[in-house]
Amino acid sequence: MDSSSPCARDADRYEGFREAVWAWSVPIARGRRPGSVVGVLDELEVQARWFGGEYGRSFTGTEGERIEVVQFGHWNRAAGPDFTEAAVKVNGELRRGSIEVDLDVRNWDRHGHSGNVAFNDTVLHLFIDQPALNRVFTRTESHGNVVQLLLPQYAGLQGPPDFLPEAFPGRCLAPLAGMEAAEVESLLLAASQYRLRRKSERLHVMSEATTREQALFQGVAEALGFRHNKSAMAILAQRCPVRELLAMEPGDREARLFGAAGFLEAGPAEPARTPEAQAYRRKLWDHWWKMRPEVETSPLRSIRWRSDSTRPLNHPQRRLGALAALLGQWEDLLDLWEKPVNNFPKAVNNWSKSLHHPYWERHYSLASETTPKPFRLLGKDRLRDLLGNVVFPVAIRVSADRWGDYTRLGGVDTNQKLRRAALRLFGNDRERQKLFTRYYHQQQGLLQIYDDFCLEDASDCHHCRFPEQLRQWRQINRPASRVGLKLDAR
């Protein structure tokens, strides 16, 4: 995003506001309260964020060492350290070997790595938690001392963990109700620009750890996995790099995705209910068994998918079917970013209509009945999330002009998080809730405020400085809001 563009300036204004509020906030002892990040994040998720480059590649170790990741290595498919064939520089000295990721530094001993020869070549031990008082070292079976690195409990560009605080009208309800619609809109607009910029930065940082194309592929996969299978999709995208998939013929490519996801395992799979489902699964298996020995992952490292609390159309297997179809039109998607297009959202919508799959347009899962009518592989909300999380964050980096297109995107159907955010900020005033959640950017702005303040608050609003600071926001931003807002004109 061009730092001199109006879009970047609004994002800066929100960032300044956010920092001013946070300067007063009482820090939450993360990892110590119920629902904290340590309880929410699992090891696989931290591994995926690490390997995706979200934490960056330059660090300071627990002993003050300068650490530079030269190569992130490969996901280990078998027992042993999590990543093999990695290369890191420690105080300028190049070391090659494995990397192990744990939630807690003590897990190295608890999991028996200190007595396991398979961990002797570990060059870096990563963790996100450690005891407050005792110093715990990482020793190998051969008495080597492994360099340690404490990672932040969540990657700064990822945002806080996704849990839901209580649903009640917040203390900021009254000051927000006293603000003109244009003022509230200006706040949401700036917050949404800030959110878009962070998404753009995250993809950029991920590009630097891998390649731009691989970062985009992971971003697309995550958007398809939203909400419960975002991490599962990220891991799958990392284990099946996009260039390897594109080099395969479509049947192999699809089988590789479903096999690596663990959906073709011989275990207690749900029996296929129709001859079509049986035939499709057999076809995938016929491709998969040939490549299986080279790419299959040990059950210990299997990806965990969630299909509970999801509508049948959002079943993870169906989303994976959409990803397979999308790879068939991958070059066209890349073109949308690279080439000038008049109506960007319309062009993306047309591209999404070109996605077809004879099985996944009429099935919810590998076992399901055939549906009476076909369904689009990417529904309206899925497409909107793809636009908001990947397509626009990349496009805005290429051209700040895309911001206008972004503000015209209609909102998605409200989900639980959005409903809670609207209730907290606008109370039970349905009209105001509707007015400020009609557009996608408003919803994103609302979610950003919710992430920044509601998720960071542990005092049922009592200590949150957001309500008081709103007065200052109004004073500083009034002139801009008068100039920039055309709330009723859209």
Please state the closest distance from residue 473 (CB atom) to ligand SF4, in A. Answer: 12
**Closer CB to ligand SF4, 168 or 289, in the complex:** 168
Please tell me whether residue 184 binds ligand SF4 under the rule CB under 6 A: no
Please state the closest distance from residue 191 (CB atom) to ligand SF4, in A. Answer: 11
Please tell me whether residue 451 binds ligand SF4 under the rule CB under 6 A: no
| CB burial readout 58-94, b (16+ within 10 A) else e | ebebbeebebebeebbebbbeebbbbbebbbebeeee
- In sequence order, what DSSP letters do the residues of 388-415 get, joined into one string? IIIIHHHHHHH-TTHHHHHHTPBPPPP-
* Position among 81, 170, 316, 427 found at the interface with ligand SF4 (CB under 6 A): 170
Of 141, 146, 157, the closest CA to residue 206 belongs to 157
75 bridge partner residues: 83
Look up residue 15 and give its amino acid: E
* Cα angle: 175, vertex 179, 183; to 5 degrees: 125
Please tell me whether residue 125 binds ligand SF4 under the rule CB under 6 A: no
- Choices 23-31, 71-79, 164-172, 469-477; region in contact with ligand SF4 by CB under 6 A: 164-172
3-state secondary structure of 2: coil
Please state the closest distance from residue 25 (CB atom) to ligand SF4, in A. Answer: 10
Site string for ligand SF4, 348-387 (x = CB under 6 A): ----------------------------------------
For residues 257 and 236, is the Cβ–Cβ distance under 8 A?
Answer: yes
Please tell me whether residue 424 binds ligand SF4 under the rule CB under 6 A: yes
**Closer CB to ligand SF4, 86 or 464, in the complex:** 464
Please state the closest distance from residue 340 (CB atom) to ligand SF4, in A. Answer: 40
* Position among 453, 470, 473, 487 found at the interface with ligand SF4 (CB under 6 A): 453
- 461-490 residues in contact with ligand SF4 (CB under 6 A) are 461, 464, 466-467
Tell me the backbone φ, ψ of residue 441, rounded to 5 degrees: -65, -35
Please tell me whether residue 188 binds ligand SF4 under the rule CB under 6 A: no
Q: Are strands 122-129 and 93-104 parallel, antiparallel or unpaired?
A: parallel
Please state the closest distance from residue 37 (CB atom) to ligand SF4, in A. Answer: 18
Look up residue 465 and give its amino acid: R
Can you tell me the distance from the alpha carbon of 474 to that of 189, in angstroms, rounded to the nearest whole number?
14
For residues 136 and 148, is the Cβ–Cβ distance under 8 A?
Answer: no
Please tell me whether residue 454 binds ligand SF4 under the rule CB under 6 A: yes
- 316-345 residues in contact with ligand SF4 (CB under 6 A) are none
Please state the closest distance from residue 159 (CB atom) to ligand SF4, in A. Answer: 15
Give the distance between the most distant pair of CA atoms in the chain: 71
Q: What is the rounded end-to-end Cα distance, in angstroms, of the chain?
A: 24
* Position among 30, 113, 171, 432 found at the interface with ligand SF4 (CB under 6 A): 171
**Closer CB to ligand SF4, 287 or 420, in the complex:** 420
Can you tell me the distance from the alpha carbon of 239 to that of 282, in angstroms, rounded to the nearest whole number?
23
- Choices 124-132, 143-151, 333-341, 457-465; region in contact with ligand SF4 by CB under 6 A: 457-465
Please tell me whether residue 195 binds ligand SF4 under the rule CB under 6 A: no
Q: How many helices (H) does the chain have, and how many strands (E)?
A: 21, 7
Please tell me whether residue 14 binds ligand SF4 under the rule CB under 6 A: no
Instruction: Look at the block and give the residue holding tokens 């300028």.
Output: 92
Tell me the backbone φ, ψ of residue 397, rounded to 5 degrees: -70, -35
Please state the closest distance from residue 433 (CB atom) to ligand SF4, in A. Answer: 14
**Closer CB to ligand SF4, 296 or 456, in the complex:** 456
* Cα angle: 188, vertex 193, 196; to 5 degrees: 125
Give residues in contact with ligand SF4 (CB under 6 A).
170-172, 424, 453-454, 457, 461, 464, 466-467
